[in-house]
Amino acid sequence: MRIVHVANFYSPRSGGIRTAMHAMAGQYLSRGHEPVLVVPGKRDGVSLVDGVRVVTLAAPRVPFSGGYRAVVQPGKMRGLLETLAPDRLEVSDRTTLAGLGDWAREAGIPSLMMLHERVDGVLRSWIPGAAAGGRAATLGAAAAPALADRYNLATVTRFDRLVATTQFAAGEVERLAARTRAAALPPLYRVPLGVDLERFRPDRYSDEARAQYAPPGTALIVLASRQSTEKRPDLAVDAAAQLVRDGRPVRLVVAGSGPLLPAMRRRAEASGLPHRFLSFIPDRDRLATLLTCADVVIAPGPIETFGLAALEALASGTPVVCSSSSALPEVVGTAGAAAAPDGAALALALHEVLDRDVDQRRKAARARAELFPWSATGDAMIELHSRKAFDLAPDPALPELARLEHAAPAPAPTPVDPTEPVHVGPVGRR
């Protein structure tokens, strides 16, 4: 099969979307299929990355995004897809590329949308003053679900399948199904992402490597995240600063760039927090070494729908403290701790994790990550792309798969609710 995956908000310096796209493409390639990635860039072009064809479409920068680009000429994208002639189409975008589901349907090509973010969460994160709470946050929380439902009803219904990586990511589509009872909603599957267990591993640790980031006797807290509004890096700074005020020697090391980077530097300085900002780390091996040298990784984003950086930390043998409002508790499990997206609450969680036995917390982190190999993601996606999965009528011979629980990722794509499926009518090529 030629499986074409298109996305916006991809760049050589981007994180989760880029990592997931290339990892999934590698899985398809290893199974004898032909993956093609189509992404926005500075100019049109074609390149080969690890044996995978990457097609770049010229696209403008998105204002206030820190350099991300988005395709604003969907007609050009459709023309390219006609040339590529995919057997399957995957779309990782909820904005300008959402209409590609209509193109695929008209062309008789099975399509799926990857739900890498929640629309209601994005809406809330961009409401002025929402981060500080108060009336704006209250009004935003009340309005966001209804606005998201309207938008999702107009977009996700264009595709044959929806794929969410966690229950949290699936939540707003489940809500939409419950509110509308819309027979037009496509079936929704959960397929966890994976982690490179060879690159991210505990044996990268050395005292010499750790000494580059923090002196002995100082807890090394790492934030590996884009410095942007929805990621809430301010919570990481505030939580680490609270540990200093509590008398615990710590240093915060931040790996990631973005529009909030200068403000976060100023915030750390003002709080008296020992810190180091590394900006974006293009060398994945260097990032892996940093993660394994950390005592704890903090992932404060309140609307994360999976958290690949957190999973990479676990694979490196490092526990993770995350926001309880996100999907990360599903990924982290007991190999870390979750707290409300608040500096003081996250500080308490950091204390609790740092007080655990070092060897036990590192073994627990690695064991958790080993439940998420990329090979399982590849198996699941290929099964979902199989001919049977896209038949107009459900195939009774296709086994019903177990629901994904927090204890482990499912080995194959799983209907979000097998007892009350989101999809109440056959959806296929039209």
Residues 50 and 170 in one domain: yes
- Judge whether residue 396 has pLDDT over 70: no
Range of the domain at 121: 2-194+374-415
- How many structural domains does the chain have? 2
Residues 110 and 179 in one domain: yes
Instruction: Please tell me which of 61-65, 96-100, 124-128, 418-422 the model is most confident about, judged by mean pLDDT.
Output: 96-100
Residues 248 and 324 in one domain: yes
| Domain assignment of residue 323, yes or no | yes
| Domain assignment of residue 166, yes or no | yes
pLDDT (tens digit per residue) in 276-301: 999 899 899 999 999 999 999 999 99
Per the model's pLDDT, the better-predicted residue between 64 and 339 turns out to be: 339
| Domain assignment of residue 263, yes or no | yes
The whole-model pTM stands at: 0.87
Residue 411: band (very low, low, confident or very high) from pLDDT cuts 50, 70, 90: very low
* CATH number of the domain where residue 330 is located: 3.40.50.2000
163 closest CA partner among 197, 207, 114: 114
- Judge whether residue 145 has pLDDT over 90: no
Residues 66 and 12 in one domain: yes
Residues 311 and 226 in one domain: yes
Mean pLDDT of the chain: 86
- Judge whether residue 347 has pLDDT over 90: yes
What average pLDDT score do residues 239-258 get?
96
What average pLDDT score do residues 320-329 get?
97
Residue 422: band (very low, low, confident or very high) from pLDDT cuts 50, 70, 90: very low
Residues 19 and 49 in one domain: yes
pLDDT (tens digit per residue) in 355-376: 999 999 999 999 999 999 999 9
| Domain assignment of residue 428, yes or no | no
Residue 144: band (very low, low, confident or very high) from pLDDT cuts 50, 70, 90: confident
- Judge whether residue 89 has pLDDT over 60: yes
| Domain assignment of residue 429, yes or no | no
- Judge whether residue 65 has pLDDT over 80: no
pLDDT (tens digit per residue) in 167-203: 999 999 999 888 876 557 899 999 999 999 999 999 9
What average pLDDT score do residues 392-403 get?
33
Residues 315 and 354 in one domain: yes
Residues 121 and 36 in one domain: yes
Per the model's pLDDT, the better-predicted residue between 135 and 255 turns out to be: 255
